[in-house]
Structure 1
C-alpha cells in the first residue's frame, strides 16, 4: 500500500527543495558577479603603470611607439568605433530585409534553407573569415585600387603631397594611398558579413512571434502587405530587433582575429577609407605576446580594460533602450 504523507510533511519537503534550489541559483549568480569584479580588479591592477604614467593622455594621444615608450590609444579607439559602427550601418538593413523576406514572403521550402544558411554564417570561425577575405576579397579591392591609380594619375601626386603634409581632402579620403588591398575598408566588409546573422536571426524570430491578431486587424482595415509589415509588425517587434542590433554591435567591437588579419595593424588614424589602421582588439592580439617591457605590457592591458568598459556600456545602454522600446503590454 502507498504510504500517504501528512500535508505538513509534504510542505516541509517542498520547502527544503525550494531552499536548496534557491541556494544553488544564488551561488551561481554570485559566481558571475565575482568573475565580473575580478576581471575589473585584475585588468585595473595591471593597467596602473600605464595609467599612472600617461594619465588621461592615454585616451587622447595617437602615437603608439614601443621603441620610444610612447603609448596612446586614440587611434585604436577610433579604429574600433569606425569599423564597428560602419559595419553595423551596412549590415542592419541587409539583415532586416532578409528577416522580413524569410518570415513574411518566402515559402516554407525556401525559408528554412535560407534561415539555416544565414545562421551558418555565425558558426564560421573568425580565422576562416580572415583567410577567406585575404584570398577572395583582398585581390578584388587591390584590383579596384590599381584601376583608380591608372585612371586618375594626377590624384596620386596630389594626395601623396597632402598626406605627407598631414593634410587631407574629401576627394583624397576615398583615394587609396597605395594599392595594397588591406586596410579599413576590407575590415569593415568582413565585419559586416560576420555580424549580419546576429541581427537577421533575432529579427526573424521576433517577427514570427508577433501575434496574428496584429496582422489580421490591419488586413481587416484593407492594408497592403507592406503596410502590415511597416505599421503592425515592425513597431511591435522593434525591441527584439534592437536587441539583435546591439548583440551584433558587441560582436563587432570585440572581433579580433579576422580584423587583425586584414586591417593592416598600423597604430595610427587612417588617412583614407582604404588606409591601414588598428582596433583595440587587433592591437592586443598582435602585441601582447611580444610586450615584455612593463610599460608596453601595461598599455596593452589598458586597451583590454577600455574594451571591457566599452562592452559593458554598450550592453547596459542596450538594456535601457530595449526597456524603453518594449510595448507596455508585454513588459
Structure 2
C-alpha cells in the first residue's frame, strides 16, 4: 500500500502579526468608554503628582524664607523663639517628642492589633467575629477631636494610678520617675495615639490574614500542628509584610496627629528624661497651638517644621511601598 495516499499537504503557516499590527488592532478593539476611563485615570494620577509637587514647592519656599534668617541650627537647636531679634528656633525637641510618642504608640498598638486580627480571623466564632470587626471599623471613623476630648476628660484623670505604680516599681530607671504632677505627658500621648491607630492596623492585618491560602493551613493541620502552631508557621510568616505595612500606615497617622495630642499634652520646649512628667512637644501639636497667633515670619518657621514632618511621612509611606513590593504574595494573588 502506498503510504503517500494517506498524507495531505500541510497548510502554509500563518504569518505572525508584528508589534505595530497588534497595537493597532488593540486600539481598534478598544471601546470609547475604555479610552475615556483610561484618560480619566491617567489624568487623575498626573494631577495627584502635580498636587504633591506643588505642596512640596510651597513648603520648601516658605521654609527657606525662615531658615535663611534663623540664627540657630534648625535641626539641633533646643529653642523656639521666632519673635526674638535675631530669631532662634529649631526642631530638635519637636523631633524627639514626635518620635518618642510614636514609638510608644506603636509598641502598644501593634501587638494588640495583631492579636485582635488573629482572633477575628482564626479563633472567634462567626457570630462573634462580625460584631467585633464592626466595632473596630467604627473606632476608625471616630474624629480626632473626640479622641482628644475623651483623652482629656477621661484618660488623663485615670492615669494617676498607673503613673504611681510605674514610679514605685520602675522609678529607679529615671524613665518612669514621676513628680506627681498632672499626667499630661508623652506616655499619656502615646497611649492615646495607640488607641487611635489600633483600628487601622487591626483592619489591614485582618484582611491580610484572611488571604492566607487555605492549603497552607490544612497542610499544617494534616501534619499534626495545633491551632497556635498553624498560626505561627503558616499565617504569620505569610502576612508578615502586610502587618509591617499596616503598622507603617498607623505610624503615619501617629506622626501627624494634631488635635488629640494638643488636647492631652502639656507642652514645654524642653526634653524630659522621664516619660511621666509633662513636657516636650510634637510637630503637629506645635503647629496647631502656635499658628493662629504667630507673626508672618513665625508662620514661615512653623511651615519649615511642617516640611520636616512632610518628608518624614513620605519616607514612612515609601518604606511601606518597598515592603509591599518585596513580598506581593501577601495579597493572596498567588494563593
2:253 pairs with 1:251: yes
Distance 2:293 2:195 in 1: 31
CA contact (8 A) 1:46 1:298 kept: yes
CA contact (8 A) 1:84 1:249 kept: yes
Partner of 2:299: 297
Distance 2:129 2:166 in 1: 40
Distance 2:230 2:104 in 1: 30
Distance 1:14 1:192 in 2: 49
Q: Within 5 Å, give how 1:66-215 maps onto structure 2.
A: 66-68=82-84, 69-142=87-160, 145=163, 171-215=173-217
Relative distance call for 1:35 and 1:194 in structure 2 (3 A) is same
Partner of 1:307: 309
Q: TM-score, normalised by structure 1?
A: 0.85
Partner of 2:61: 45
Relative distance call for 1:271 and 1:18 in structure 2 (3 A) is same
Q: What is the Cα deviation at residue 238 of structure 1?
A: 1.6
Relative distance call for 1:51 and 1:66 in structure 2 (3 A) is closer
Higher Cα Rg, which structure: 2
Relative distance call for 1:23 and 1:144 in structure 2 (3 A) is closer
Relative distance call for 1:147 and 1:214 in structure 2 (3 A) is closer
Q: TM-score, normalised by structure 2?
A: 0.84
Partner of 2:290: 287
Distance 1:266 1:301 in 2: 20
Partner of 2:15: none
Structure 2 stretches lacking a partner, 5+ long = 1-23
CA contact (8 A) 2:98 2:283 kept: yes
CA contact (8 A) 2:166 2:176 kept: no
Q: What is the Cα deviation at residue 19 of structure 1?
A: 3.2
Q: What is the Cα deviation at residue 21 of structure 1?
A: 2.6
Q: What is the Cα deviation at residue 267 of structure 1?
A: 2.4
Relative distance call for 1:226 and 1:173 in structure 2 (3 A) is closer
1:277 corresponds to which of 269, 276, 280? 280
CA contact (8 A) 1:238 1:326 kept: no
CA contact (8 A) 2:148 2:260 kept: yes
Q: What SS does structure 2 have at the residue aligned with 1:270?
A: coil
Q: What is the Cα deviation at residue 145 of structure 1?
A: 4.9
Relative distance call for 1:49 and 1:108 in structure 2 (3 A) is same
Partner of 1:222: 224
